Amino acid sequence: MPTNLPAEWYIVKEEYGRATGKEKIEKLKKLLSVTPTHKGAEKLRAQLKKKLSELKKEEMKKRKLSRKSMSIPKEGCARVSIIGLPNSGKSTFLKKFTGAEPKIAEYPYTTTKPEVGMFKHRGILIQMIEIPSTLTREVLSIAHSSELVLFLVGKNIDEAQQLKELRKIIEKENFKRYIFVKSDIMEEELFKKIWKKLDLIRIYTKEHGKKKIDNPIIMKKGSKVIDLCKRLHKDFLRYFKYAKIKGPSAKFDWERVGIEHELEDGDIVEIHMKE
């Protein structure tokens, strides 16, 4: 590394750059924890600490604001809205997969405002929002601002009836990206179903001679090695020699590729730099 910061620092810095909301604060704390404590890094530590206190203040302000208005800040790598018939189990579903605590009751229209949660699966965060069954223009605008709409098919209402009603909503609102999900789905299958519909890929980075880093970097489909280098740090671009890849985009394990190589979901990438 041409600077005196450990490689891990750049990885965490990249994660921090991508993070939003509360997650950003957590990543900045982590970044501080991997920043060296020696004299040469004193200025950097001071800058990071200042940024941390700024972020904390901003987050407080945002939270106060979002309580008042309908706009919900986007967090995670995608937003998925949950739509279903009244009383079909949307709040129960949201609670199960995100740990959020919306009110759940046996009568319809219990949820009166969008309820937000974060679905976490193997280092990937997906924002989930329950759209109130009233389906007013205001709450539907949140569904339209989502990358995907999840139509929940509950157990306590006739399935054919639900599908019919939900298809009417899809047609009327002209939703293009949606999935139907039964309420008894398991986490792994749910994640796969969502992931398939998002135009994203998971890239795992690795340092030579070390284990791959568990949390993937999320990129747009069609991204190349060059885009990954840009995301990590400008030095990876400047001193790039070649990359070694194991995964769907490699012809064989640890194939050596150039900077224009197109990545695929699940690739493990090792970037080699000029001395």
Ligand X SMILES: Nc1nc2c(ncn2[C@@H]2O[C@H](COP(=O)(O)OP(=O)(O)OP(=O)(O)O)[C@@H](O)[C@H]2O)c(=O)[nH]1
Interface residue list for Mg ion (CB under 5 A): 90-91, 110-111
Question: Binding to ligand X by residue 104, rule CB under 6 A?
Answer: yes
Residue least distant from ligand X (Cβ)? 89
Which residues, 6+ apart, have CB-to-CB distance to 69 below 8 Å?
none
Binding site partner of 108, from ligand X, Mg ion, none, Cβ cut-off 5-8 A by kind: ligand X
CA-closest candidate to residue 201, choices 265, 122, 120? 265
Rounded to an integer, what distance in angstroms lies between the CA atom of residue 233 and that of residue 120? Answer: 26
Piece in contact with ligand X (CB under 6 A), picked from 11-19, 103-111, 203-211, 253-261:
103-111
Which of 110, 113, 185, 266 touches ligand X by CB under 6 A? Answer: 110
Rounded to an integer, what distance in angstroms lies between the CA atom of residue 236 and that of residue 230? Answer: 7
Rounded to an integer, what distance in angstroms lies between the CA atom of residue 224 and that of residue 257? Answer: 11
Quick one: 90 or 202, whose CB is closer to ligand X?
Answer: 90
Nearest approach in angstroms of CB 92 to ligand X is: 3
Q: Which of residues 127-156 bind ligand X (CB under 6 A)?
A: 133, 154-156
Rounded to an integer, what distance in angstroms lies between the CA atom of residue 134 and that of residue 157? Answer: 17
46: its two tokens:
């001071």
Nearest approach in angstroms of CB 15 to Mg ion is: 33
Q: Which of residues 70-99 bind ligand X (CB under 6 A)?
A: 84, 86-92
In terms of C-beta density within 10 A (0-12 exposed, 13-18 middle, 19 or more buried), how is residue 84 classed? buried
Nearest approach in angstroms of CB 236 to ligand X is: 46
Nearest approach in angstroms of CB 108 to ligand X is: 5
Quick one: 90 or 261, whose CB is closer to ligand X?
Answer: 90
Size of the residue set binding ligand X (CB under 6 A): 20
Q: How many CB atoms lie within 10 A of CB 264?
A: 17
Whether the Cβ atoms of residue 266 and residue 221 lie closer than 8 Å to each other: no
What is the binding site for ligand X (CB under 6 A)?
84, 86-92, 104-106, 108-111, 133, 154-156, 183
